[in-house]
Amino acid sequence: MRFIRLSSLFVMACAVSAVAKAESDPQQVLHGAVDEVLAIAYDGKASAQPLSERVRPVLEKYFNFESITRRAVGPGWRQFKPEQQQRATVLFTELVIRTYADRFEVGDRPGITYAAPVQLAPGRRELPTTIDYAGKKYAVAYRMELVGGNWRIYDVIIEGVSMIANYRAQFDALSQQGGPDAVIHSLEQNLKQVAAK
């Protein structure tokens, strides 16, 4: 639960503001990302539209949700038929966006310090940051990969805890016990619970 609450700020703060070409610096992309999402979250305007709906187009365009879903499910992903992979990706995308956006609490605008990117592999970078929020500092790293010439986010690591690993702990056990149907059913049930709150 602590991970989800902390991530509600940080996941929302990492969508990309401009199309990142292959030659672009992923850190510059992340700078723009943070600026754009925080501008939406802290615009100060009353809106009947939930934050999840306002940030959805940005998040869907610049997060690699297919990659996030595949990595979160883990080895069991290979058992999913193409239509099951698509369904799981749609559900997981909805769950992540709604869960984190709905838990976002506007307070003081966070301060963000960027460290040098770390190359994980060709076309993959980890971008460490320190986020100063409500008088506390948090180590947050964004993992990005080149997809079709664009840098896209595929994981967020908060205080050493990976978003992907956090979900994989749940999905891997479900996949082993009940296969793809069990994972999809769990996602559907989780979405119903989020919608009921």
CB of 160 closer than 8 Å to CB of 181: no
Of 171, 192, 195, 187, the C-alpha closest to 77 is 171
Per-residue pLDDT, 155: 94
**Domain limits, the chain:** 2-196
Whether 189 and 94 have beta carbons less than 8 Å apart is answered as no
Name the pTM for this structure.
0.80
Check residue 19 and give its pLDDT.
37
CATH superfamily of 2-196: Tgt2/MlaC (3.10.450.710)
- Cβ atoms 164, 155 nearer than 8 A: yes
pLDDT given at position 22: 39
Model pLDDT, residue 48? 76
State the Cα–Cα distance between residues 144 and 114, nearest whole angstrom.
15
Each residue's pLDDT, cut to its tens digit, for the chain (197 residues) gives: 444 444 544 555 544 333 333 347 888 888 877 788 788 888 777 677 888 888 888 888 778 999 999 999 999 999 999 999 999 999 999 998 888 777 666 677 888 899 999 999 999 999 999 998 888 899 999 999 998 888 889 999 999 999 999 999 889 889 889 999 999 999 999 888 877 76
Token pair listed for 49: 């539209």
Task: Provide the pLDDT for residue 147.
Answer: 87
Per-residue model confidence (pLDDT) at position 12: 52
Residues 6+ apart with CB under 8 A from 119: 125
